[in-house]
Amino acid sequence: MRITKHEHACLELEQDGRKLIIDPGGFTLPLEDLHGLTAVVITHEHPDHWTPQHLDRLRAYNADVPVYATPAVAAAVPGVIAVHAGDTATAGPFSLSFHGGTHSVIHESIPVVDNVGVLVNDEFFYPGDSYALPKHADIALLAAPIGAPWLKIGEAMDFVLAAKPRRAFGTHDMTLSRIGLDMHRARLSWATEQNGGEFVALEVGDTIDL
């Protein structure tokens, strides 16, 4: 399985010529070469994780592509499949399980929305906007949020320490300056290495193979 990092929180997974897109949001440029699209996962309703324009474009490549998302997104877009923590699905070569259930708190004045992290093929995990982890998972590769209004870097470090991934990279990063991004990467690199893992600094368009 090959993972490509796009802008901010958008990720593209490819296996056996089939593709899975996660969180194509408002900070992400229009995606190219979407033939072979098998499924789309949207972890929650915030616009930096999905937009109607992105979803329309993805569906134009394959009108019947399944889209898995929280109930709020499913209520807004016909044909989207609502998923909750504990649900599972299969899309082509991708087995999906959903975890967590709620977005991390930004501030007490801002409503907390549903959020589902996704574990793909029992080896790649992306939590969306939360620190929830799948129980008893052996995470080969973790996409770890690295910058957000809800994120404190010490808590992000604790999340990586708890996950114990064999490899990790930072995502959800468009809110950071270059200096801030490098600083936060260094912190998550330390946390990954504490359990013998390796942190990989992926730039936009970079790939990593499992």
The full set of domains in the chain, from first to last, is 2-209 (3.60.15.10)
pLDDT for the residue 33:
84
Q: Does residue 125 sit in helix, strand or coil?
A: strand
pLDDT in tens, 128-140: 999 999 998 899 9
- Region label for 142, one of left (φ > 0), alpha (ψ between -120 and 50) or beta (otherwise): beta
In contact, 167 and 193? CB cutoff 8 Å: no
State the sign of the Cα–Cα–Cα–Cα dihedral 83, 108, 129, 134: negative
pLDDT in tens, the chain (210 residues): 999 999 999 999 999 999 999 999 999 999 988 889 999 999 999 999 999 999 999 999 888 999 999 999 999 999 999 999 999 999 999 999 999 999 999 999 999 999 999 999 999 999 999 999 999 889 999 999 999 999 999 999 999 999 999 999 999 999 999 999 999 999 999 999 999 999 999 999 999 999
pLDDT for the residue 156:
98
